[in-house]
Amino acid sequence: METKKKAILLFSGGLDSILAAELLKRIGVEVYCVTFVTPFFSPETALIMASTYGYPIEIMPLPEKRYMPLLFDPPHGFGRHRNPCIDCHALMVEMAGKLMEERAFDFLATGEVLDERPKSQNLEALMKVDKASGYAGMVLRPLSAKLLPPTVPEISGWIKRSQLLAIRGRSRKEQLRLAEAWGISLYPTPAGGCLLTDQNYSRKLSRLIEHLGEDVSFRHAELLKIGRHFWLPPKTHLIVGRNEGENCKLEGLRSEEDWLIYPQNNKGPLALLRHYGHFFKTTILVAAKIVARYCKRSDAEVILMLRPPLDEAFELAIIPLSQEAVSLFRLESAGRPQDLASFLRDEGSAVSLDKLRSSLR
Instruction: Say whether pLDDT at 1 is over 80.
Output: no
Residue scoring higher pLDDT (117 or 273): 273
Check residue 359 and give its pLDDT. Answer: 39
45-68 pLDDT, tens digit per residue, is 999 999 999 999 999 999 999 999
Neighbouring C-beta atoms of residue 65, cutoff 10 Å: 8
Largest CA distance in the chain: 86
Name the percent of the chain in helix, strand, coil, to the closest 5: 40, 15, 45
Own/partner contacts of 120-128, CB < 8 Å, gap of 24 or more, are: 120/79, 120/85, 120/86, 120/89, 123/148, 125/85, 125/86, 128/76, 128/86, 128/90
Check residue 118 and give its pLDDT. Answer: 81
Instruction: Say whether pLDDT at 349 is over 70.
Output: no
Check residue 301 and give its pLDDT. Answer: 87
CB under 8 Å to 264, separation ≥6 — which residues?
303, 304, 305, 315
Q: How far is CA 342 from the centre of its chain?
A: 37
Check residue 192 and give its pLDDT. Answer: 66
Residue scoring higher pLDDT (205 or 2): 205
In angstroms, the CA 84 to CA 81 distance is 9
What structural domains and CATH numbers belong to the chain?
Answer: 6-181 (3.40.50.620), 226-360 (no CATH)
pLDDT above 70 coverage of the chain, percent: 94
Q: Helix, strand, or coil here: 295?
A: coil
Give the bridge partners for 37, in sequence order.
Answer: 61
Check residue 142 and give its pLDDT. Answer: 98
Instruction: Say whether pLDDT at 12 is over 90.
Output: yes
In angstroms, the CA 190 to CA 172 distance is 10
Instruction: Say whether pLDDT at 347 is over 80.
Output: no
The model's confidence at residue 288, banded by pLDDT at 50, 70 and 90, is: very high
Q: Helix, strand, or coil here: 262?
A: strand
The model's confidence at residue 345, banded by pLDDT at 50, 70 and 90, is: confident
In angstroms, the CA 130 to CA 160 distance is 21
Check residue 358 and give its pLDDT. Answer: 42
Q: Say if residues 259 and 251 touch (Cβ distance below 8 Å).
A: no
Instruction: Say whether pLDDT at 153 is over 90.
Output: yes
Q: Say if residues 166 and 148 touch (Cβ distance below 8 Å).
A: no
Q: Regarding beta strands 30-37 and 6-10, do their DSSP bridges make them parallel or antiparallel, or are they unpaired?
A: parallel
Q: By C-alpha distance, which of 296, 307, 226, 233 is closest to 268?
A: 296
In angstroms, the CA 155 to CA 169 distance is 25
Q: Where are the beta strands (DSSP E) in 180-235?
A: 228-232
Q: Regarding beta strands 259-263 and 271-275, do their DSSP bridges make them parallel or antiparallel, or are they unpaired?
A: antiparallel
Check residue 310 and give its pLDDT. Answer: 80
Average pLDDT over the chain reads 92
Instruction: Say whether pLDDT at 351 is over 60.
Output: no
Q: Regarding beta strands 107-110 and 228-232, do their DSSP bridges make them parallel or antiparallel, or are they unpaired?
A: unpaired
CB under 8 Å to 11, separation ≥6 — which residues?
17, 21, 33, 34, 35, 46, 49, 50, 55, 57, 111
Residue scoring higher pLDDT (262 or 265): 262
Cα–Cα distances (Å) from 17 to 7, 129, 264, 279, in that order, read 13, 17, 51, 50
230-261 pLDDT, tens digit per residue, is 999 989 999 999 999 999 999 999 999 999 99
32-47 pLDDT, tens digit per residue, is 999 999 999 999 999 9
190-199 pLDDT, tens digit per residue, is 876 899 999 9
Overall average pLDDT of the 342-361 stretch: 59
81-93 pLDDT, tens digit per residue, is 999 999 999 999 9
0.85 surpassed by pTM:
yes
Check residue 300 and give its pLDDT. Answer: 79
Q: Say if residues 36 and 92 touch (Cβ distance below 8 Å).
A: yes
Check residue 361 and give its pLDDT. Answer: 40
The model's confidence at residue 175, banded by pLDDT at 50, 70 and 90, is: very high
Give the bridge partners for 275, in sequence order.
Answer: 236
pLDDT above 90 coverage of the chain, percent: 80
